[in-house]
Structure 1
Amino acid sequence: MNVQLTNPDGVTSGVQAPPSPRSLADTGIGIVMLRDILLKTMFRTNLDLCSKISQAISLPVPLTQELIDLARSQRLLEATGTMHANAGNEMGYQLTDAGKARALDALAQSEYYGAVPVPLDQYGEQIKRQSIRNISLNRDQLMAGMGGLILPPDLIGNLGPAVTSGRSILMYGPPGNGKSSISHGIRKAIGDKVYVPRAIEYSGQVISVYDPIVHAAAEAAVDDPNSLRRTSNRFDNRYVYCERPSVITGGELSLDMLDLAYNPVSRTYQAPLQLKATGGIFIIDDLGRQAEPPQKIVNRWIVPLEESRDILALQSGEKFTVPFDTLVIFSTNFHPNQIFDGAALRRIFFKIIINGPSQEMFLKIFAMVARKKKMPLDEKALMYLLKVKYPTIDMNFANYQPTFLIDQMISMCQFEGIPNQMSPELIDRAWGNMFVEQADFAH
């Protein structure tokens, strides 16, 4: 089944959609687990209509009705005898005493209820259909993703092959030159959409994957509530149609964030960050600022980067393999030779230096920011900045500096009640907030 969906922007996604299951066997989940999820969901949500339960457990209405009929045959559910006129004259259902007992017993084993999970092997097939390595990106698309960033001419030429390969990228260089902004620009440039499972199942254990904080839903599929025999789903509703995910971490990253998170109260698992980023981008910003040494962080990625698979462990200690399909971007202000050995550097496929702008590029950025923020340019003030202030830092220009200086001067003008303007005096004051002079204090 090759479904092409049109998103709200009118762009057609060529990613092959996961087909909606046509039978309970197609779900890949055992009948007992399916039935227990149905009972737990009804117990926790008090839903009593097939159409509503269908939405809650993310299965088509006919399959949900089949599960309800199975539970009724086992005397776990019963019809209420009430037809709901405002819901297409649907019959209502409720748990019997035996059904409540079974729901409580199932909840004692796992609190998970709601969307039926996708088996890991089925999810692996969907990952192949929407692999980050399948994307095609040209120079114009990558430039468009960068928005208004002014970049060196050769940088896009280096970034393009790195992004389209779907391999790992190390961006390094002095701080304040847009490494983080470039990472975000890469994400925007990719632009298409993928299918993210609400949860996956392995060895009877449920792992939640879809995370509204990480994943931006693009479109929902909903069954026709007036039809018990026909489904209007265009894809398996156990998935959420999303923008390609973008997970960003910085100095807070620790190695345990890359492992399954087990909740002993609910007895369920939460997917680690890299699994949530599947089909998208994982950005490790400010590498070298984490509590863990950079070498140790990269060592954790050796198997995923080389073999496109990751190894996770259940609470029981059982280890299993999950697909690894993520563009990993490392970003650091340190020189790579300072924080990695040769073996680690070999495993990072692309290494791209992001230097500060030349004086000519700096002036272009300054003029663009000034125009955007409605700050009139003043030749005398600019010459003062270039001839007096920048020689004190050996003419080390950075991309963040124009925005910083202009914002500072705008704030000062607003406080003084004067129109936006730049002058040597205002540049002196703004410069004082950008750099702190070395001085000794009496304690």
Structure 2
Amino acid sequence: MNMQPQSVMAPPLPRYLEDMQLPVVMMRDILLKTIFRKSVSTVSEIARAICLPASVTQELIDMTREQKLLEATGTLNANSGNEMGYQLTDAGKSRALDALSQSEYYGPMPVPLTVYREQVERQSIRNIQITRDQLINAMGHLILPDDLLDNLGPAVSSGRSILMYGPPGNGKSSISNGIRDAMGDKIYVPFAIEYSGQVITVYDPIVHTAAMVQEDNPNQLRRSSNRFDSRYVKCERPTVITGGELSLDMLDLVYNPNAKTYQAPLQLKSTGGIFIVDDLGRQQEPPQALVNRWIVPLEESKDILALQSGEKFEVPFDTLVIFSTNFHPNEIFDQAALRRIFYKIKIDGPNQENFLKIFALVARKKGMPLDEKALVHLLKVKYPTIKNIYANYQPVFLIDQMISICEFEGLPYQMSPELIDRAWANMFVKDEHIVK
């Protein structure tokens, strides 16, 4: 049985240079490039810059000194606890420049892809068991049909793909965000990973929200228990939201020809979290083509990426994919694609009772007093003209319109049949022929 862990197991600290499982030349060159670019000189400064423990950093420095690429300055740095300083030799500077011409990457030492896979397993999205209370707490501000949580809960807890469909304006995006908020734990995201000698940057401050981590005082003998491999950033589970701008090439590795480095695609950045494809059917790519790109990842929990050389390799695919569309699934997918999307959940508009609850909630929040005559006019006169089809966005739209009118006319906030009519006129465009 899947149980929600109290906390994700942190990536263990490497104790020795051999624990790194990285090419020695790559580590040496990143060390040299970092010292050259960041002008760091003491072991503690260098260790912070390359995100390794001081003991492992010292091993790397000693190895580089033996190659005559680094030398001790012979002076103690009073500002750094009387640590010995180090600097690049002429050969070291030459090697650093040569290494920078091959790849501009410097700073945090990358995590080998094989090691990263192990951490992905420890913090898998499929290890989460969302309870009804968690979903209710995360979506308490939404008024939803009673059976919606019955369908959402098992879908989210499975960590499998979800298709939400239904008419626009009924909160599919808000529900997606609520699912994200229900996942309260933290995971560890690497600054970069390494495959076949290539560095792929993963951590992205736009996608990843770093959690507060208490740092150890180096002068204390007893270290806190929250120490972990600092090549990772402790983060909230990530959420990547794409809409009409999504294209197939955004799901490939991004190569920077000037820096000669790679950036992880969106789905790799969302590992351990949620990838929301909003407004499916509005992209330039046909929906069928987008879903075909996800077939292997969705079925096998792995994705296939390619380097500039054409070499292909597997990366973990550990993401809850949520497709959201205003189209009926049969209009945009064939049956083979629909089989591969594990859960299909229709998000309908509210019934009249829930519409009134939403209307009253929004009015109270915005300081708009309710008026029975105006509400009767809305329900008995206006909604029959659109076959009594209610949508979640409509209360906010109508009340905001009436507020704008009141502010323009210099009136206290109020609603009336006349104001309802004026607000309603802006919610729909009259179907008519315009002579050009």
- Between the aligned partners of 2:66 and 2:298, the Cα distance in structure 1 is 50
- Between the aligned partners of 1:207 and 1:324, the Cα distance in structure 2 is 16
What's the offset of the Cα at 1:346?
A: 0.4
Q: Aligned pair count?
A: 432
Q: What corresponds to 2:228 in structure 1?
A: 235
What's the offset of the Cα at 1:80?
A: 2.2
Match status 1:277 vs 2:274: no
- Between the aligned partners of 1:410 and 1:127, the Cα distance in structure 2 is 49
SS at match of 2:313: strand
Gaps of 5+ in 1: 1-11
- Between the aligned partners of 2:99 and 2:220, the Cα distance in structure 1 is 30
RMSD: 1.8
Q: What corresponds to 2:36 in structure 1?
A: 43
Equivalent of 1:179 in 162, 165, 172: 172
Match status 1:391 vs 2:384: yes
- Between the aligned partners of 1:409 and 1:201, the Cα distance in structure 2 is 57
What's the offset of the Cα at 1:233?
A: 6.8
Match status 1:291 vs 2:284: yes
- Between the aligned partners of 2:297 and 2:101, the Cα distance in structure 1 is 35
Aligned ranges 1:361-372 → 2 under 5 Å: 361-372=354-365
Match status 1:143 vs 2:174: no
1:223 and 1:99, CA in 2 relative to 1: closer, same or farther beyond 3 A? farther
SS at match of 2:304: strand
Q: What corresponds to 1:356 in structure 2?
A: 349
Q: What corresponds to 2:255 in structure 1?
A: 262
- Between the aligned partners of 1:191 and 1:432, the Cα distance in structure 2 is 42
- Between the aligned partners of 1:224 and 1:139, the Cα distance in structure 2 is 41
Counterpart amino acid of residue 202 in structure 2: V
Match status 1:422 vs 2:415: yes
SS at match of 1:266: coil
CA contact (8 A) 1:13 1:193 kept: no
Comparing 364-373 and 430-439, the one that deviates more: 430-439
TM-score (norm 1): 0.95
What's the offset of the Cα at 1:439?
A: 2.2
Gaps of 5+ in 2: none
What's the offset of the Cα at 1:81?
A: 2.7
What's the offset of the Cα at 1:73?
A: 1.9
- Between the aligned partners of 2:343 and 2:420, the Cα distance in structure 1 is 39
Q: After TM superposition, where is structure 1 displaced by more than 6 Å over at least 4 residues in a row? A: 230-233
State the identity as a percent: 74
- Between the aligned partners of 1:417 and 1:154, the Cα distance in structure 2 is 44
CA contact (8 A) 1:220 1:240 kept: no
What's the offset of the Cα at 1:222?
A: 4.9
SS at match of 1:16: coil
Match status 1:197 vs 2:190: yes
Match status 1:15 vs 2:18: no
Counterpart amino acid of residue 276 in structure 1: K
What's the offset of the Cα at 1:442?
A: 2.6
Counterpart amino acid of residue 384 in structure 2: P
- Between the aligned partners of 1:399 and 1:231, the Cα distance in structure 2 is 48
What's the offset of the Cα at 1:223?
A: 6.2
Counterpart amino acid of residue 83 in structure 1: L
Equivalent of 2:53 in 60, 63, 70: 60
Counterpart amino acid of residue 230 in structure 2: N
Q: What corresponds to 2:325 in structure 1?
A: 332
Aligned ranges 1:53-92 → 2 under 5 Å: 53-92=46-85
Q: What corresponds to 2:403 in structure 1?
A: 410
